[in-house]
Copies of this chain bind each other. A is one copy, B any other.
Amino acid sequence: MSIRSTRAGWTPGYSAEMTTTSQPGQTAHDSRSGASHEAVEGWRATHEDVLREAAEALAARSYFSRYPDSPSPRVQGEGAAEAGRTAYEQRLDRSFDLSQPTTGESVGDEVSPYGPRLGVSYPRLDIGAALAAAREGMRSWRDAGPRTRAVACVEIIERLNARSFELGHAVMHTSGQPFVMAFQAGGPQAQDRALEAVVAGLVEQERIPSSARWEKPGRDAAVVMVKDYVCVPRGVALLIGCNTFPTWNAYPGLFASLVTGNAVIVKPHPRAVLPLAITVEVCQEVLAEAGFSPALVQLAAEGDGERLAADLALRPEVAIIDYTGGPGFGSWLEREAAAAGKAVFTEKAGVNTVVLDSADDLGAVVGNLAFSLTLYSGQMCTTPQNLYIPRGGIATPEGRVSVEEFAERLASAIGRLTGDDARAVEVLGATVNDVVRGNSARLGELAAEAGGEIVVSPRDVAHPAYPDAVVRTPAVVRLDVSREDVYTRELFGPVALLIVTDSTEQSLAQFVDTVREHGAMTASVYSTSEEVLAAAREAALDAGVALSENLTGQIFVNQTAAFSDFHGTGANPAANAAYTDAAFVAPRFRVVASRRHVPA
């Protein structure tokens, strides 16, 4: 009989490449498919080097960055900034086309936090057809093998890098980030995180040999088998993007799913579609060039309030979900989608903590802290909220600095960063939405309710270029450690709490309790005492949150470096996953083996 001649009888989607399997004993994770991926071969030479260097850095957790984040023309190239800005502007007020099935309708009503309406309309995805196409596309993607997938992913990231300025403007005008930050975090830093996910996924798959010889000693002769191992995807992945970091928080899940063989439906936040639409466009372009289906990455844009994510999350085709956003829907996913057997990776929200004990150079402490609070108006999931300080103040070489004096010095430092409107907006950006504006506006109420006091007052900043932007400097409210009811809530945006405790021990104990119950993405401690630092490390282990110690220079607690710092831990309620550990990539694929005897 001929299997080939009667193909029509096979399972749906069975394509010609599928029976051209590898020979037993094949030694590398080569393509199992007979399909031609010439383009991939052209990329392989350069990208294999990138993958090797990145894999070495990830294993050592040493410094590595593929994509320099300086927006300087010397680094990004002459004219790149202008070209990127033009590219962004040409996106506005028109429809955004993608290679994917559409219902014929379009959606999209993004308004920049800086004021302007973007006017981009996106094709509404035909979900049924999209999921079918995604599954169909996974077949040759699976057969291409981990390394070919990784090379194609690197090519995608390289091309995203070439569009960093365009992406920077798109991120700025959807998130409200200041431009330089939008360029850096939305461009090169997000691309480094993407590369990290690719490498983590590649390494994890390549830990399984593609073939092994198994030789069991026997009484007379050995029993010998050859065993082949193939990494197979879990299914279609759903990526649910957020408003504040549309690319940085999306790329780890997107690329971890893709490199492990899954197709990805990208569901952006309705107010931050453009950065991910550009991303999907690049993905589709590279996949098609490489001979794969562009349906491996599709954009599911929606209008505000349509709840498409919840619908998609429970579709039987969807096997993996990555989510960044508010705890309400995140908890729903962790409950309902996990109950439906999906692998669910979330980053929600938490109560980030700074424990203030003592300092050699208090000026440097408040300077570093002021920047952390000010950057992007405190709208980072990693921005500190709860600053614990002992009632007796902070020990410094100049003597104890009281709580009041510390607050004054912090206010001055914030003032220095934000005193000039034009300079201020380059750090603060714009407030992203009404929730943030509300947290800031209800400050007096909050202080009164907490029996506290506003010790750093906010200031409204007029944006020189965008008069409609709502920009406000960070405020700090002092309150007593007894008011757990207030400081265990997340106050997203430019509001921090200076919590007065009886001692550093109490600060650390409250830190542990609060993080265990309410979660945190970051924690930091300032102390000159090795004993306190050791206790803080123990507290951080107990709380399950990463700790930064005595940051006084150009590293800030709200920043994590790809390849070295984990973002989140998965060990407290703020996030059930981390960028990027093995637990973030290993459950995205399965291993299917075949074994057969061979002569001894």
Residues of chain A whose beta carbon lies under 8 Å from any beta carbon of chain B? 1-4, 6, 9-11, 14, 18-21, 59-63, 142, 204, 207-209, 212-218, 223, 225, 227-230, 232, 234, 334-336, 338-341, 503-506, 508-509, 512-513, 529, 531-535, 537-542, 544-555, 561, 564-566, 569-571, 576, 578, 581-583, 586-587, 590-597
Contact = CB atoms under 8 A, between A and B. Distances in A.
A3 B531 contact: yes
Which 3 pairs of residues, A with B, have the shortest CB-CB distance?
A571-B590, A339-B339, A582-B586
A563 to B, nearest CB: 9
Contact of A564 (B212, B533, B544): B212
B227 A11 contact: no
Contact of A509 (B11, B218, B340, B546): B11
A189 to B, nearest CB: 13
A521 to B, nearest CB: 13
Nearest to A20: B534
18 contacts: A9-B503, A11-B513, A20-B534, A60-B209, A61-B214, A62-B215, A63-B217, A142-B541, A216-B561, A223-B553, A232-B544, A336-B339, A338-B339, A338-B341, A540-B594, A548-B594, A566-B591, A586-B587
Contact of A214 (B21, B63, B209, B597): B63
B227 A565 contact: yes
Majority secondary structure of chain A interface residues (helix, strand, loop or mixed): mixed
Contacts of A596: 533, 548-550
B531 A214 contact: no
B339 A1 contact: no
B225 A1 contact: no
A411 to B, nearest CB: 26
Given A61-B214, A578-B590, A581-B590, 11 more contacts: A3-B535, A62-B214, A63-B217, A223-B553, A223-B554, A336-B339, A338-B338, A541-B592, A565-B595, A578-B591, A583-B587
Count chain B CB atoms within 10 A of each CB in A19, A218, A591 and give the residue with the most.
A591
Contacts of A535: 3, 19
A228 B590 CA distance: 31
B232 A548 contact: no
B61 A229 contact: yes
A403 to B, nearest CB: 17
A540 to B, nearest CB: 6
B4 A62 contact: no
Nearest to A535: B3
A597 B232 CA distance: 42
A513 B11 CA distance: 8
